Chains A and B, each alone.
Chain A
């Protein structure tokens, strides 16, 4: 399958994957009063308890630590949620792949769009934090938008590879979940970047520390490191090439594997 054409036609079919992604969210919360805002509420409870308890443990100021950890968790939840679901994308949707002609990338985009919708619900927490703590991040916050776009495209290309691998090898899903879990601990999300030296390997070799930096820093009113941007853009190029190669050679086989 031609990767470029499939990519364009999948984007053009936005009606399908957006509708199905919204439907996934709507149906899950249809019978509840506040609907999808349960996502926001449960996330808020998690961030609040983590922020209060860990600021005690780390002996940090709550007004500094709580915004830091909450924004980090909201961002990480989007990244890890998508990554954890990618390997199962085609297996879970095997009925579609086997019975109708469907561009596999449409299924992938449905998964990504669903996690993006969850993320936007969770993002309300950031506004509540701004209001409560009287934080004004300033104009630098605008940098978060291109950063988000860059991260989403990166996630998509990683998804192309993970979903195909996950369809062929069923243990990819277990492996990647463990790896994602590991990255949660080595990425500065619940602990502050300051706690390790700047050239610490867990920051330098960890791609997610750059993802988090370009997103979280502007949201906290700080300028992200220029290296972070450069690394994320480089990763994007590598992921795109790798995704293209894997898709081109293997996408036609997915139907036989699921």
Chain B
């Protein structure tokens, strides 16, 4: 009956990013400009066109890799999918329960304990308090932090910190998972355990969108790819095809 739900559907998405300079930030300058009939002006707000006419859709089971140079618009596209940026024009339809692991270090409160940071991070990612409490023992167990879990995270080493965040984020159940580079743990002895957990985390999601500079990573996790170049969609489809084209304009 053709009832395959398009879970992600982007139609002609454009995003212009306003560059708010210091002058444009001041209301005083605005008033001055209006009062002098524009004689003294702070200058117009320039806009950067970050994405142009992006259209594609994804269904359950799709693992999409975003490929492109720095500044091609990969992260911007992820942020649009995450709902952080609202597109300037175009339509976007996306099913609920998107989890983005774009920046892992945000919202870490150095004075709060490990447990408190798990709670606040979980809440910010959209979990309910009950759900967090249920997952808490498993998360704590995975971090291998022992008694440190009740100490302020400012005393943690960077490895301990990553373990804490990684364990929390990867305990989520996401329908749609967005990643800017694969989340890693850095700790060699921890690596095998972490990569198993990461794979399970990705398996659980119905759709994955992953931006990466690493061809190996994309080939590993993705079954589709999208090539971006200066805000334009160059190709959407097969992974091999994308890398062939990508190598051509390197």
Contact = CB atoms under 8 A, between A and B. Distances in A.
Interface string B89-111: 00000000010101100110101
A175 B27 contact: yes
Interface string A218-252: 00000000000000000000000000000000001
A101 B84 contact: yes
Contacts of B109: 23, 27
Contact of A102 (B111, B119, B120, B124): B124
Interface in A36-76: none
B17 interface: yes
B27 A172 contact: yes
Interface in A170-194: 170-172, 175
B40 interface: no
B117 to A, nearest CB: 10
Contacts of B25: 168-171
Contact of B125 (A97, A100, A255): A100
Contact of A169 (B27, B107, B112, B119): B27
A98 B84 contact: yes
Nearest to A257: B20
B21 to A, nearest CB: 11
Interface string A7-25: 0000000011001100100
A128 interface: no
Contacts of B123: 15-16, 19-20
Interface string B50-88: 000000000000000000000000000000001111100
Nearest to B102: A99
A252 B79 CA distance: 13
A168 B26 CA distance: 8
Contacts of A252: 86
A256 interface: yes
B206 interface: no
A23 B84 contact: no
A255 B85 CA distance: 7
Nearest to A24: B109
Contacts of B107: 95-96, 99-100
B139 to A, nearest CB: 17
A97 B106 CA distance: 10
B26 A169 contact: yes
A101 B100 contact: yes
Contacts of A23: 109, 112, 116, 120
B128 interface: yes
A97 B26 CA distance: 21
Interface of B: 17-18, 20, 25-28, 30, 82-86, 98, 100, 102-103, 106-107, 109, 111-112, 116, 119-120, 123-125, 128-129
21 contacts: A1-B86, A15-B129, A16-B123, A19-B119, A20-B120, A23-B112, A23-B116, A27-B111, A95-B106, A96-B106, A98-B84, A99-B106, A100-B84, A100-B107, A101-B82, A101-B100, A168-B20, A169-B26, A170-B26, A256-B20, A257-B20
